[in-house]
Amino acid sequence: MHTGFPWVTVLGVIPLVGVVAIMLLPRAQEAQAKVVALGASLVTMVGSIVMAIAYENDGARFQFTQDYNWIKAFGAHYAVGVDGIALALILMTTVLAPICILASWHDGDRPVVDDEADEDARAGRGPRLFFSLLLATETLVIGVFGALDVFFFYVLFEAMLIPMYFLIGSFGGPRRSYAAVKFLLYSLAGGLLMLVAVIGLFVAASHQLGTGTFDYRALLAAIDSGKLHLSHGEQAALFLGFFIAFAIKAPLWPFHTWLPDAASEAPTGTAVMLVGVLDKVGTFGFLRFCIPLFPWAAREFAPWVMVLCVIGVLYGALVAIGQKDLKRLVAYSSVSHFGFIALGVFAFTTQGGSGATLYMVNHGFSTGALFLVVGFMATRRGSRLVDDFGGVAKVAPWLGAVTLIAGLSALSLPGLSTFVSEFLVLLGTFTTHRWFAVVATFGIVLAAVYVLWMVQRTIHGPVAPAVEGFKDLSLRETWVIAPILAVIVALGVYPKPILDFINPSIEQTNSIVRDHDPVPSVPELSQTNQVDTTLNIDTGIGAPIGSSN
């Protein structure tokens, strides 16, 4: 059965049609693969925008749903649909996909080879394979965000590793094989733990409900009604199975060590897809599964998770300061950002959760912009080392300008999108765990250090001899970076449209853990007043963020 237009399925099928069209291209027209891929991704983006317009903020929790029996023997369904959280992340994915394809316009033409044997082994790995893998990744990610069946989600969660593994391992840098294998092994280890937890959840449901089910909505309804009651021990074990898998995917400290290698060896467009899109599946999983399905365990483990978050915020920023490789610098900065995102998720407040979800979207664009400008400079210089640059803005002023804007976005400058989300995360966390919020705030200071240090060393100062011949942004590069910068500015100035459909979903997600948001109060300000001067501050926590009162 289905309700409404099946947008999730349609958006997932369009890139797959692009894959089929690419693979049917004759070898003589192999270069047209990039054009087909770009067209398919643009159609998908337009479809996602139409879906967002049709989405009703005050409507059902999950919209555009479809539910069909898939593997009837053990109750697995093809069940998809979106709430506000999934909708925001699908929008981000479909907007970034064509940008990644444009940024990768020449990446599939000449795969890197180290020797003749390697070249023979990789014969035929050209544009058709490269752009097919990018489109397949887009399809799988859309499916992950839209899945409403736990088993179906798990299958897609594991399947999306395959195209990314080949993108890094076949088209990446000199250490691509090491980075790809490390990425795959870490992710598979987390996936194995999740599989055990998925099976455990099914068994528990079959014992108490009389029949096992993977249907996410049925599980939520059973938990809410009390028909499915997991003991504290069961909740703790199942929570950890899901949590560790998502913490590796995010990645959250100390599960992060695969990210710098994978991001630095991946081609530029692939790095944007990996860090900007795929890694959000981890933090999305916290909101979709860990909190609603295991509320007691989520409350009990929240302080410990927030300790990891704060360590990650500071550790990622401190290590980023010491990086000489630009791509590794951006990768470690993302470890810090994911600490902020998870902090907002486990604050269990509307402001914290909405800020975390908005941060997922904003991080995709902000970090995507940083990877892109690093890629632009590395292509011109033939190096990613900070010390090999200097004075770029004097030779290529537009390239210098976009590098500065991308850097300011990464350090959450007011007026740019990441500021709004970071502020909401810290504000929402402060109301429940003020010291975690206070300590995490130092991450903002450290972000200013590594970003401004990078900007000063690369685009300012004396012009390095190897930089003197730099060309400014090409037309293709302008089309790649301009949409991202436009989104960064637009969401920094007016985030209300995104927050309007995020807020209700966050409130519903947190409602099973906490009845209402805590409201801080200011103690008595004056002893001379004859009336009670204790003030309750309306922080907007109890009302949807971005709404007008």
| pLDDT 10s digits, 266-310 | 888 889 999 888 888 999 999 999 899 898 898 899 999 999 999
Tokens 């999108």 sit at which residue?
A: 417
Tell me the two tokens of residue 15: 């890139």
pLDDT of residue 52 exceeding 80: yes
SS3 of residue 535 by DSSP: strand
Rg (CA), the chain: 23
Consecutive H or E run containing 71 = strand 63-71
> Do you find a cis peptide bond into 251, omega within 30 degrees of 0?
yes
Burial class (CB in 10 A: 0-12, 13-18, 19+), 276: buried
Highest mean pLDDT among 1-5, 110-114, 316-320: 316-320
Beta-bridged to residue 325, according to DSSP, are: 385
At 95-131, the pLDDT tens digits run: 999 999 998 887 655 544 444 444 434 445 688 888 9
Structure confidence at residue 113 (pLDDT): 43
Consecutive H or E run containing 399 = helix 397-410
Instruction: Tell which wins on pLDDT, 127 or 84.
Output: 84
Residue 476: CB atoms within 10 A of its CB come to 12
Residue boundaries of the structural domains of the chain:
301-549
> Do you find a cis peptide bond into 267, omega within 30 degrees of 0?
no
Residue 74: CB atoms within 10 A of its CB come to 14
Structure confidence at residue 45 (pLDDT): 95
Structure confidence at residue 243 (pLDDT): 93
Q: How far apart are CA 541 and CA 534, in angstroms?
A: 19
Tell me the two tokens of residue 122: 């990789």
- Per-residue pLDDT averaged across 344-371, rounded? 90
Q: How far apart are CA 26 and CA 208, in angstroms?
A: 56
The mean predicted confidence, pLDDT, of the chain is 84
- Between the alpha carbon of residue 256 and those of residues 183, 261, 368, 533, the distances in Å are 10, 10, 18, 48
Q: How far apart are CA 415 and CA 293, in angstroms?
A: 37
Contact indicator for 362, 417 with CB cutoff of 8 Å: yes
Contact indicator for 99, 272 with CB cutoff of 8 Å: yes
CA angle 307, 312, 314 (to 5 degrees): 100
Highest mean pLDDT among 7-21, 208-222, 383-397, 499-513: 7-21
- Of the pLDDT bands very low, low, confident and very high (cuts 50, 70, 90), residue 225 is confident
At 465-479, the pLDDT tens digits run: 887 888 888 888 889
Contact indicator for 259, 251 with CB cutoff of 8 Å: yes
